Amino acid sequence: MTTKQAPNTLQKLGLNNPMALALHLPSRYEDETELMTIDEALIQGRFSSVQTQGVVIRNQVLFRPRRQMLVTIEDNSETLQLRFLNFYPSQQKQMAVGAHLRVRGEIREGFQGPEMVHPTVKAVAPDASLPVSLTPVYPASAGISQAVIRKAVASALKDPSLHDALLEFLPKKLMSELLPSNDWPNLKAAITYLHQPPADADTSALLERTHPAWRRVQFEELLAQQISLKRAHAIRRERHAPSFAKPINEDSSLEAGLLKSLPFQLTVAQARVWSEIGSDLSKSFPMNRLLQGDVGSGKTVVAALAVARVMDYGYQAAVMAPTEILAEQHYLKMKEWFEPLGVRLAWLSGSLKAKDKRLVQEMIESGQAQLIIGTHALIQESVSFSKLGLAVIDEQHRFGVRQRLEIQQRLGSELFYCHQLMMSATPIPRTLAMTYYADLDVSIIDELPPGRKPIATKVVKASRRDEVIAGLKSWLSKGLQAYWVCPLIEESEALQLQTAVESFEQLTQALPEFKVGLVHGRLKADEKAAVMAAFKDNEIQLLVATTVIEVGVDVPNAALMVIEHAERFGYAQIHQLRGRVGRGSADSVCILMYAEPLSLAAKERLQTLRETSDGFVIAERDLSLRGPGELLGAKQSGDAMLRFVDLQRDAWLIELAQQAAERLLVNHADIVERHLERWLGSRREFLKA
């Protein structure tokens, strides 16, 4: 096979067998099926790329001002000049006087008349036939020429093994029932068509990937994914997890104690999602639920209720967050709620000293610790729970893919199956939830606690800093508090700290009648806690902070936030930060200060943030900007899973694949197996992340 010609580069692309090559589908096509005479080409070529041919009558290498090669070809109708600004000796030879060339390109008006600059050139016999199909152009890949890929693919398509590999599995009856107007070719035909479409193919449908041949391939891919999801769903139901119905001694339960001690009533939305979660917990198979709700919607208390329910049965609960700061906020909150009720809490993070870590691990193993809160350190090998009933995972999409896999492997292992509750402030569009997440139930808190005032967001140039500080002064004079958030400097934590310290000093000087505090990531946990406590007690009126306050901090009297260099923050970050204000009864204000020059993207971002504080709208903008994979933190796995499907464009296909998957699982177990093997193979694991 031709793969032998360039083993390394093709191999590097993973194109090491006929199936892989067959599925390496073109990104576009060139039409080399038509040939014009040179006089026709000189006219048509001004509008689009054209193909013509002739014999070389002149070949000159000139230096004016750069070294370049001018080649003139001629046919019966006209002459045409070709210009090459860089070229190899081999090309010089190929285009020597007397050679017959077939060239393809557009006509430009040069200094000496019409010409083609860097056309595609082939040396052919004058009577060489034209290709009957469009010429595929494959996704660009460094170091491999189109010619090599084309040859490798063409020979792969002829490989006898491909016949079996692309055998049609889908029952005709099933397909015609699902898709009455079924005009899809079978898989082998679809793939062959996509590599070698006939000259009269609908090229725009091919480019947009809406052509029936594309649909057929996309459907296959989605079907594999839907089957895996359904299979995971069924497997989960066969597993066993402890069932936690409503507690027997309802009045003396932790659950009731927590509800009683809260200074507020659950909102209708909170009560609804809690009943959904409660019902999952009462089942004898593990819960796998995502709790979604905007920043400040009150997810934590719902998680706490689930934690209480599990502890009421004598089981342990774990709460895990992707960063130490976020985990710590949970720890403080849970401690405030549960310690008065006599619950033994434990804190575990990577930064604990080895000795302390061992102590905590012993408490977890002996069952002495009932509620364990921490970072990713919680799922390390060295931690073994005595009786884990529930794992709460906050902002799970912010864990890396590898870590998410580890979490799933650990929590869904043969050893024990515990209930899982994930939480996220980032809304996931339905199509994404249907395709990216293995077997996930979703609950949504679609209402903020009462009394929240909308946040007025202002966008202000950094040159007006003095005015902002004057405004801050009159704000603080009213007895209110405020945050001053310093820029994120991704390249350097030290630099970030330095700017925070500078702002802190400047503001301390400008506001002598108020106490200014400083909190940043380099402080030790207890130092940080001391500053936060002082801010909470209004001993500090202005808190200068780095993004450490992005999550969890909750001081209702602080209703003003100034964000410096807001142009450096992303959508989600500002949304999260801004969620810190607007929690009390005062009107809240967020000032986004920006330094010029402002990029177009940053300008649009700040504008959107000024206009809306709706997390769903903001997430949508974010999504259209960054793509779903990155938003979910699933970039690697997502890309590997869906190569041919665009979730926005092909949403309807997902539904179809879902129905087909259901029916195949019921009636065609053998097909299901073969289909999974064909499409997922070694990638199966990633579906779980």
Break the chain down into helix, strand, coil percent, rounded to 5.
Answer: 45, 20, 35
30 vs 554, beta carbon nearer ligand ADP: 554
Query: Which part of the chain contacts ligand ADP (CB under 6 A), choosing from 299-307, 492-500, 565-573, 611-619?
Result: 299-307
Return d(Cα 241, Cα 399) in angstroms, integer: 25
Residue pointed to by tokens 């979730």: 647
Q: How far is the CB of 528 from ligand ADP (least distance, A)?
A: 18
**Amino acid identity, position 36:** M
Q: Which candidate, 483, 470, 457, 475, places its Cα nearest to that of 556?
A: 483
Which residues pair with residue 443 across a beta bridge? 291
Nearer to ligand ADP by Cβ, of 266 and 405: the residue is 266
Comparison of 227 and 326: residue with beta carbon closer to ligand ADP: 326
Least separation in angstroms between residue 32's CB and ligand ADP is 58
The 3 state secondary structure assigned to 503-559 is HHHHHHHHCCCCCEEEECCCCCHHHHHHHHHHHHCCCCCEEEECHHHHCCCCCCCEE
Query: Could you please report the per-residue DSSP string of 619-653?
Result: HHHHHHHH-HHHHHT-HHHHHHH-SS--TTTTHHH
Handedness of CA 78, 84, 89, 94 (dihedral sign): negative
Classify residue 64 as exposed, middle or buried by CB count within 10 Å of its CB (0-12, 13-18, 19+).
exposed
299 near ligand ADP, rule: CB under 6 A: yes
Binding window for ligand ADP (CB under 6 A); candidates: 68-76, 100-108, 263-271, 360-368:
263-271
Question: 559 exposed, middle or buried (CB, 10 Å; 0-12, 13-18, 19+)?
Answer: buried
Q: Per-residue string for binding with ligand ADP, 657-686, x by CB under 6 A?
A: ------------------------------
CB of 257 or CB of 298, closer to ligand ADP:
298
Q: Which stretch binds ligand ADP (CB under 6 A): 32-40, 60-68, 290-298, 640-648?
A: 290-298
Max Cα-Cα span within the chain: 101
Phi, psi for 10 (deg, rounded to 5): -65, -40
Of the two residues 444 and 656, which places its CB atom closer to ligand ADP in the complex? Answer: 444
Asked if the bond preceding 286 is cis, omega within 30° of 0, the reply is no
How many Cα neighbours within 13 Å face the side chain of 465? 12
Q: Which two tokens stand for residue 180?
A: 């009455």
Contacting ligand ADP within 392-431 (CB under 6 A): 425
Cβ proximity to ligand ADP: between 189 and 341 the closer is: 341
When the beta carbons of 270 and 426 are compared against ligand ADP, the nearer one is 270
Nearest to 37 by CA among 65, 92, 88, 76: 76
Question: Is residue 411 within 8 Å of residue 287, measured between CB atoms?
Answer: no
Say whether 81 sits in a helix, a strand or coil.
strand
In the shown chain, the binding pattern of residues 449 to 478 toward ligand ADP, with x for contact by CB under 6 A and - for none, equals: x-----------------------------
CA distance 278 to 441: 13
Residues 6+ apart with CB under 8 A from 129: none
Taking the complex as a whole, the smallest distance from the CB of residue 425 to ligand ADP amounts, in Å, to 6
Using CB under 6 A, pick the residue from 295, 308, 411, 632 that binds ligand ADP: 295
Distance of closest approach, residue 481 Cβ to ligand ADP, in angstroms:
15
Give the Cβ contact number of residue 479 at 10 Å. 10
Binding of residue 389 to ligand ADP (CB under 6 A):
no
Site string for ligand ADP, 191-230 (x = CB under 6 A): ----------------------------------------
Nearest approach, Cβ of residue 679 and ligand ADP (Å):
37
Q: Select from 52, 192, 218, 267 the one that contacts ligand ADP (CB under 6 A).
A: 267
Say how far apart CA 504 and CA 502 lie, in whole Å: 5
- Least distance (Å) from ligand ADP to the CB of residue 547? 16
Nearest to ligand ADP of 264, 662 (CB atom):
264
Our CB check for ligand ADP shows the closer of 153 and 332 to be 332
> Among residues 293 and 487, whose Cβ is nearest to ligand ADP?
293
> Which member of 54, 119, 197, 293 binds ligand ADP (CB under 6 A)?
293
Which residue stretch of 291-299, 473-481, 524-532, 611-619 sits at the interface with ligand ADP (rule: CB under 6 A)? 291-299
Q: Is 177 in the site for ligand ADP (CB under 6 A)?
A: no
Query: Of 35, 154, 266, 534, which lies in the binding site for ligand ADP, with binding defined by CB under 6 A?
Result: 266
Question: Reading across the β-sheet that carries 481-485, which strands appear in turn?
Answer: 455-461, 588-594, 558-563, 481-485, 542-545, 516-519
Query: Which positions from 504 to 543 touch ligand ADP by CB under 6 A, shown as an x/- string?
Result: ----------------------------------------
- Which span sits near ligand ADP by CB under 6 A: 121-129, 214-222, 259-267, 609-617? 259-267
Residues making contact with ligand ADP (CB under 6 A): 264-267, 270, 293, 295-301, 425, 449, 554
